[in-house]
Amino acid sequence: MKLRFAALALIAMFGFATIARADEGPTNTGPMTMSETQFAQQVQQDLTRRYPNASDAVKAGYVRYTSPDDTGAISYANKQWASDQSHPSQLWYDKNGDLLGADFSVLRPNNEPRPQLWGVDPGRWVELNGHVHYVTKDASGAMKYDQWVWNKDFVAAGGSLTSPSADTLVKMGKVKSASDVATIFEFPTIWDLVVWVKPNPYGAFAWENPSSKP
């Protein structure tokens, strides 16, 4: 979910852990238009029907890769980054497994302009820069989420972005053994659009939701 990708350059600048930097933030945070409202309502109805619980996301091929963010959202990605209106690249759930919202994405390998899709103002989209996510599992079975490295650093260590390997993380000194890695995937540079499914007084595209907390 976006807030996990949003603590952003400031945190990265000071050397604290973060997930990625939103290189270009939203330019429109105002009230939703009629076409935007219609799109959001369609998404909310569709996703509530198909993916009401985190278990439904897992069955559909989504994998968890974060702990709860500032809004309580736990993110699951399907590792398919060219979304259509019915297939978000990410779904987020609260600690009880109830659906909170989704991210839709459009690949941006060559600095493509903000998408003009689904009646949504292009200024709603944000850019997220490419990085490799991984999840580790210790001897007790406990999972550790929110781990990542920049794409350029992964490639510099001999890694492949099309088929990232835990062996590269070992070479980088991120993990002791490849067997410690439960999940690894590339999160490419994308344009990202968040849509809250849970009612949000700030609007479906807002970065925060006062009714959703950890």
What are the tens digits of pLDDT across the range 67-111?
Answer: 999 999 999 999 999 999 999 999 999 999 999 999 999 999 999
| pLDDT at position 213 | 83
Report which of 31, 54, 4, 82 is spatially closest to residue 205, judged by C-alpha positions: 31
pLDDT at position 5 over 90: no
pLDDT at position 10 over 80: no
Q: Can you list the positions of beta strands (E) in 49-156?
A: 63-64, 74-77, 90-93, 99-107, 126-128, 131-137, 143-150
**At 155, which helix (H) or strand (E)?**
helix 151-156
| pLDDT at position 1 | 66
Give the residue, 18 or 96, on which the prediction is more confident: 96
Burial class (CB in 10 A: 0-12, 13-18, 19+), 193: buried
pLDDT at position 22 over 80: no
pLDDT band at 15 (very low <50, low <70, confident <90, very high): very low
Summarised one tens digit per residue, pLDDT across range 164-196 is 999 999 999 999 999 999 999 999 999 999 999
Instruction: Name the pTM for this structure.
Output: 0.90
